Amino acid sequence: MTTDCSFLDDLDLDDDQVSFAEATREAHDSDWGTKPGDEVLPDAVVYPESTADVSTVLEAATARDVPVTPYAAGTSLEGNAVPAHAGISLDLTRMDAVLDVRPEDFQLDVEPGVMGSAVDDAAGEHGLLFPPLPSSGSISTVGGMVANAASGMQTVKYGEVADWVLELEAVLADGSVVTAGSKAVKTSSGYDLRDLLIGSEGTLAVVTRATLELAGRPAQIRGGRAQFETLDDATAAVEDAVQSGVDVAKLELIDAESAMMANAYSGTDLPDRPTVFVEFHANHGVDEEVAFCESVFAAHDATLFEVAEADAGMDELWEARKDLAYAMQSWDPELTPLHPGDITVPISKYGDAIRYAKDLADEHDLLIPCFGHAGDGNVHYSVLVDEDDPDAVERGEAAYRDIVEFAIERGGTCTGEHGIGLGKREFLVREHGEATVDAMRRVKRALDPTDTLNPGKLFPETVDGHRVRDGDQ
């Protein structure tokens, strides 16, 4: 399926803003979660450099029924940025400016293509930080974080990206430019279109500017790790720490398999046993808080609790934790991670969720390393299978679905921070129910009646298993 994108040559864009070159199109046919063979070539790639450019392209594309799929770093996991119905890949990476920093209001304005780490850097010049920065911050953009409702290691203390977005400028499919939210820290003025756009995966609008909130850097930081003999001890310690109100800024768990893979990939020397990484932020009394956490962990038989002032050694551990996704991919050339992603459950179900995944691994004779933002009840799973072994694939698929179903059945979510994209569409109705998904569809049709924006995403395919655009139904 291709669309006629020749109209792009007639728009008020520079020559270098439009490409029909195969190499360029191929660079926009997938994201990190796309399996070989599932790529979809866009018919053209457009590089807007301003809000006006985005508006021009969207208005023209909508008039011609040509799909537009926003793209930036391409580091999404669920196919969110794949141009499932071809058309235009709208590459926002040239809109990467930090437009304004207002430290007196803890705010900055950025374009969507700016990297998360650049936000943190710009904030750092004023002694501030962007607390919800995802672990992938150095390789993912603000636009992607907003589109996929991302979060990060510090979400356990500071909240999600969504909690730190004050205002969004965005372009609707018809080319109109809206401003959602306020630069005030709170507002009750009209519908909250800001949070409606956050997590809508580019299916409702294209974000062209974001005003983000910042926080002061804490005066005291401590970081380190704890180890446990058993996985059940580790998850019980995590649950207890959260339930006891330990004020922790990062609370991450990696299981023995993940530790093993991290060592192989990152050259760390983590013991191959369940490890919990922690970090504490405070202006006063941080060591009392560390001691409190240590006492909670001790009650769950921690075999090691090693926390010190944040230093380079700790940074290495964090790097290993951040690189786990790569580590899983490169562990065994014969094993491929099947649908890597995440679920999130209420914290009291966290240990059960991890245990369930491990039991499934045993039952199906699979390797399922788990890690994630434990303090949020978040589990990143990776079902590793030999894709040349159909039986293994079938068992892996079953295990994957069971893990996701487990989360949904316990009041949790099928995707904590990577969106629905293509990969999790089958779970949308299962999680929310028909009536709720129907309401979502009504919102989609209201703001994008021609289904121009990122068609095929988020909503389940309903016609004969064939990808259909929402407007077709």
Contact call for residues 93 and 140 (beta carbons, < 8 A): no
Closest CA to 141 of 103, 170, 111, 121: 111
Please give the size of the binding site for a second copy, defined by CB under 8 A. Answer: 92
Tell me how far, at minimum, the Cβ of 189 lies from a second copy, in Å.
Answer: 5
For the stretch 237-271, what's the b/e string if a residue is b when 16 or more beta carbons lie within 10 angstroms of its beta carbon?
Answer: bbbbbbeeebbbbbbbbbbbbbbbbbbebbebebe
Q: Which stretch binds a second copy (CB under 8 A): 170-178, 323-331, 357-365, 383-391?
A: 170-178
Closest CA to 361 of 388, 375, 379: 379
C-alpha span between 419 and 381 (Å, rounded): 15
Query: Does residue 355 belong to the site contacting a second copy (CB under 8 A)?
Result: no
Identified binder of a second copy from the candidate list 10, 15, 23, 245, rule CB under 8 A: 245
- Which residues touch 460 (CB under 8 Å, ≥6 apart)? 425, 426, 428, 429, 437
Span 204-233, contacts to a second copy by CB under 8 A: 204, 215-216
Q: Which is nearer to a second copy, 161 or 256 (CB)?
A: 161
Query: Does residue 344 belong to the site contacting a second copy (CB under 8 A)?
Result: yes
Query: Does residue 250 belong to the site contacting a second copy (CB under 8 A)?
Result: no
Query: Does residue 195 belong to the site contacting a second copy (CB under 8 A)?
Result: yes
Span 89-128, contacts to a second copy by CB under 8 A: 102-107
Span 275-314, contacts to a second copy by CB under 8 A: 282-286, 288-289, 292
Tell me how far, at minimum, the Cβ of 95 lies from a second copy, in Å.
Answer: 20
C-alpha span between 85 and 311 (Å, rounded): 48
C-alpha span between 16 and 214 (Å, rounded): 35
Give Cα separations from 248 to 45, 153, 166, 224, 319 (angstroms): 43, 11, 25, 12, 19
Tell me how far, at minimum, the Cβ of 155 lies from a second copy, in Å.
Answer: 6
Identified binder of a second copy from the candidate list 183, 355, 401, 469, rule CB under 8 A: 183
**Angle formed by the axes of helices 350-364 and 390-409, nearest 10°:** 160
Query: Does residue 424 belong to the site contacting a second copy (CB under 8 A)?
Result: yes
Q: How big is the chain, counted in residues?
A: 473
Tell me how far, at minimum, the Cβ of 272 lies from a second copy, in Å.
Answer: 29
Tell me how far, at minimum, the Cβ of 132 lies from a second copy, in Å.
Answer: 10
Give Cα separations from 3 to 12, 49, 458 (angstroms): 20, 23, 22
Q: Which is nearer to a second copy, 77 or 317 (CB)?
A: 77
Identified binder of a second copy from the candidate list 437, 461, 469, 471, rule CB under 8 A: 437
Query: Pairing mode, if any, of strands 44-46 and 88-91?
Result: parallel
Q: Which is nearer to a second copy, 185 or 298 (CB)?
A: 185
Question: Where would I find the H helices in 183-227?
Answer: 193-197
Q: Which stretch binds a second copy (CB under 8 A): 9-17, 65-73, 305-313, 441-449?
A: 441-449
Contact call for residues 151 and 416 (beta carbons, < 8 A): yes
Q: Which is nearer to a second copy, 390 or 433 (CB)?
A: 433
- What DSSP string describes 221-257? EEEEEEEESSHHHHHHHHHHHHHTT---SEEEEE-HH
Span 29-58, contacts to a second copy by CB under 8 A: none
Q: Which amino acid, 124? A: G
Q: Which stretch binds a second copy (CB under 8 A): 61-69, 173-181, 225-233, 356-364?
A: 173-181
Tell me how far, at minimum, the Cβ of 156 lies from a second copy, in Å.
Answer: 9
Query: Does residue 419 belong to the site contacting a second copy (CB under 8 A)?
Result: yes
Tell me how far, at minimum, the Cβ of 286 lies from a second copy, in Å.
Answer: 8
Q: Which stretch binds a second copy (CB under 8 A): 135-143, 174-182, 300-308, 322-330?
A: 174-182
